[in-house]
Structure 1
Amino acid sequence: MQYTDNNLSIRTIEEKDLPRLWELIFKEEKPEWKKWDAPYFPHQAKSYEAFLTEQAHWINSEKYWAVELDGHILGTISYYWEHQPSCWLEIGIVLHEAASWGKGIGTRALKLWINHLFNQLPLVRIGLTTWSGNMRMIRVAEKLGMQMEARIRKVRYYQGEYYDSIRMGMLREEWEQHHYSTRRQVLK
């Protein structure tokens, strides 16, 4: 499955994508992107062979998709269940190369992802959790129309400093009223 917005696509991950995903996510011990994506949680590099043992987790997954610009994979977009019985779902995105940051790519990809999730799942709300050290992610959530629902103060410790955990969210009816309607997205 794939959704597009001009030269940007989000799509299910295929076997041919695994070398690129390994290079972006697991090749380096201390990648630049990890400074912004929950840096208070450990990250470990792993060999390509070790990564391949996890390929069932990635290929054709409902929860992890590739973000692609002009046919080049830049990162991943995902969701996880905070509490599936109540349909409490959280989304995330990582653009792994600094050259793709600050260009609106994440906002465009998340628009497509939110449309997909609201159209495919019986969700009442979609959430996004980040930390106060990642102002870019907070701005993206705000651009999408998400509201700050919680600020849990000083619970993320990174490089000798405490940061807040930030919970953003949007209800289905707010998304449907927002100017990012599903009619603007193309399914291929």
Structure 2
Amino acid sequence: MARKIHLQKNDITLRSIEDDDLPYLYDLIYGASEPLWKKYDAPFYSLEPHTLESYKSHEEARKHRLSEHEVDSRLLIEYKGRIIGTVMYYWEEKSSFWLEVGIGIYDSSYWEIGVGSQALKMWIDHLFQTMPLARVGLRTWSKNMRMIHIATKLGMKEEARIRKAHLYQGYYYDSVRLGVLREEWFLEDSKR
């Protein structure tokens, strides 16, 4: 199992998910029938009904997939002690250390106050500091302008745009890939 992580800056904490967190996290993500966050989440992820048991199974598989020397691939975001979302990464190509990051703030009352950008900055800092990464990428879609704004604010550059790649509610949207190289990240960090 991966080592436990606890990162804190001001009122924001990123930490490993504990078994006791699962019921609350499950309710936060799946409790509402049509959550607002889902309208902006990438359309290639569906929000199908799940059971708590399947969520626990998913978390157990994730823990076993990571070695004890790897960075945990999903952390909770707490703001002022309250769980509000998660940050994560997944391997696009592990052999070349190419990973993509993501963030979900599931309670919309915490949107547009800077929590997401600060949490994502903390997460990318941690990944660059603990892994031999040449780059960190982020994949989203053209409807999610908040995510594109956060990524560019943090110094990520648009690297690819696949036009009309996603059909959602009768409209086509572009798939957008952004990324930042290690040297760019630390150069931008000195300016932030």
TM-score by structure 2 length? 0.88
CA distance in 2, matches of 1:178, 1:21: 33
- CA deviation map 1:130-159 (0-9, x unaligned): 100000000000110001111111101111
Q: 1:44 to 1:180 in 2, by over 3 A?
A: farther
Which residue of 2 is the match for residue 35 of structure 1?
39
CA 1:49–1:115 in structure 2 vs 1: closer, same or farther (change >3 Å)? same
RMSD: 2.0
**In the aligned structure 2, how far is the partner of 1:57 from the partner of 1:109?**
25
Contact 1:123/1:172 (<8 A) preserved: yes
**How many angstroms does 1:19 deviate by?**
1.1
**Is the contact made by 2:74 and 2:88 (CA closer than 8 Å) also made in structure 1?**
yes
- 1:157 to 1:110, Cα distance in 2 relative to 1, 3 A: same
- Report if the CA contact (8 A) 1:63-1:79 is conserved: yes
Which fold has the larger relative contact order, with Cα–Cα distance below 8 Å and residues 6 or more apart in sequence? Answer: 1
TM-score (norm 1): 0.90
- Return the offset for 1:178: 1.3
Distance 1:127 1:55, change over 3 A: closer
Instruction: Read off the aligned partner of 1:6 and give its amino acid letter.
Output: N
Gaps of 5+ in 2: 67-71
Say yes or no: does 1:91 pair with 2:101.
Answer: yes
Structure 2 match to 1:158 = 168
Confirm or deny that 1:54 pairs with 2:64.
no
AA aligned to 1:26 is Y
5 Å matches for 1:60-139?
Answer: 62-139=72-149
2:48 to 21, 33, 44: 44
Secondary structure of the residue aligned to 1:44 is: coil
What is the one-letter code of the residue matched to 2:17?
I
* Residue identity matched to 1:92: G
Give the unaligned 5+ runs of structure 1.
none
Q: Kindly tell me the number of residue pairs found equivalent between the two proteins.
A: 182
AA matched with 1:31: P
Counterpart Cα distance in 2 of 1:78 and 1:180: 24
Identity %: 46
CA contact (8 A) 2:43 2:166 kept: no
Give the aligned residue type for 2:137: G
